A and B are shown apart, each in its own frame.
Chain A
Amino acid sequence: MINNDEYRPFHEPWHAQIFALTIHLNEQGHFEWKDWSQAFSEALSLESSNGAIVKDEDYYLVWLKTIEEFLAQNGKLKSDEITSYFDAWSAAFLSTPHGQPVKLKNLSSG
């Protein structure tokens, strides 16, 4: 059975996005890969004990939660900052008419 052509690294755009974001931060020297990978392994094994990792979505949900905590621990991001942007993006989506590009209002100037 040949399935190289089935290579499908990412099942959802946000999986790719959080993956790339993590790689990029590491490439920029914001943390050591081994520190990230240790944090991620620990988080995964915690989830795995519940038998939780079945789909890619489960895996990337752990990734997302871990990177958020990891960046907070490293002093790169505060959780209230993320909350502000989360709310701002939600509002932007809800106030943008269907079919138009959704843009974030600049938080720092507004």
Chain B
Amino acid sequence: MPHDIENHSHSLLPSEPELKVKAIESALVNQGLIDPAALDEIIDTYQNKIGPKNGASIIAKAWIDQDFKDELMSNTMAVLEKYGFYGRQGEHIRVVENTPEVHNIVVCTLCSCYPWPLLGIPPTWYKSDEYRSRVVREPRKCLSEFGVKLPENTNIRVWDSTAEIRYLVLPMLPDAFKGFSEQELVGIVSRDAMIGTGLIGPAK
């Protein structure tokens, strides 16, 4: 909350952090260190060009094309680079596959490392203390709060992301979706399924 500026509050006065950001930006522009137009471009990229659809396209292709999947699992970065899904926070990505025996779930206990080029900016809950601290301790309970119920005999493996390595979950494709086109499959891959806090939903 703003403190002293509250005393002479004005309907037009932004919050303290908003003003702080403007101040930092102005100071950097004044020094010639940043270009405001470049900031707009970066925001546009993360809002409109990068997002879970990138990851979904990779998952859908892996489901229908076994050769692609093999290559993706064994030579992940080469495949992702080919599709342009690499760069900041995506330098080293490992794909972990869900099976009837193992369900994978991704967290960053330290901060909020996340495969940006594939999933965009992480959702609020991924950055929260609660998720970061609890998912390692009680993954099954956490999953149930996400509405994910796994068979008792499915093991849960929690992957803790770091600045060096990030993870993408390759979800299981339910039988109901077998025979769907790649394009149709892209539409059923949720962000949460690629983090491991969701499953692929039933066919509509």
Contacts and interface: CB of A to CB of B under 8 A. Distances in A.
B43 A16 contact: yes
**Which 5 pairs from chain A and chain B are nearest by CB?**
A9-B121, A85-B23, A20-B42, A86-B23, A41-B111
Nearest to B24: A82
Contacts of A61: 17
Contacts, number: 176
Contact of A107 (B15, B30, B56, B111): B30
A44 B111 contact: yes
Interface string B139-169: 0000000010000000000000001000000
A59 B127 contact: yes
Contacts of B129: 48, 51-54
**Number of contact residues on A: which range applies?**
35 or more
Q: Secondary structure at chain B's binding surface: helix, strand, loop or mixed?
A: helix
Given A24-B34, A93-B12, 15 more contacts: A1-B147, A1-B201, A3-B191, A3-B192, A4-B187, A7-B51, A17-B25, A19-B43, A19-B121, A20-B46, A24-B42, A45-B110, A71-B28, A88-B26, A104-B26
A28 B26 contact: no
Residue with the highest number of chain B CB atoms closer than 10 Å, among A4, A30, A55, A102: A4
A73 B195 CA distance: 35
Residue with the highest number of chain B CB atoms closer than 10 Å, among A13, A44, A83, A98: A44
Contact of A48 (B19, B52, B132): B132
A9 B120 contact: yes
A69 B18 CA distance: 17
Interface in B25-57: 25-28, 30-31, 33-35, 38-40, 42-43, 46-47, 51-53, 56
Contacts of A14: 14-15, 17-18, 21
Interface of A: 1-4, 7, 9-14, 16-21, 23-28, 30, 33-34, 37-38, 40-41, 44-45, 48, 51-56, 59-61, 64, 67-68, 71, 76-77, 81-86, 88-90, 93-94, 96, 98, 102, 104, 107-108
B82 to A, nearest CB: 22
A12 to B, nearest CB: 8
A103 to B, nearest CB: 11
A10 B35 contact: no
B52 A38 contact: no
Contacts of B130: 54
16 contacts: A7-B51, A10-B47, A12-B18, A16-B46, A17-B25, A17-B39, A18-B24, A19-B42, A21-B25, A24-B42, A48-B132, A54-B128, A64-B17, A89-B22, A94-B12, A102-B12
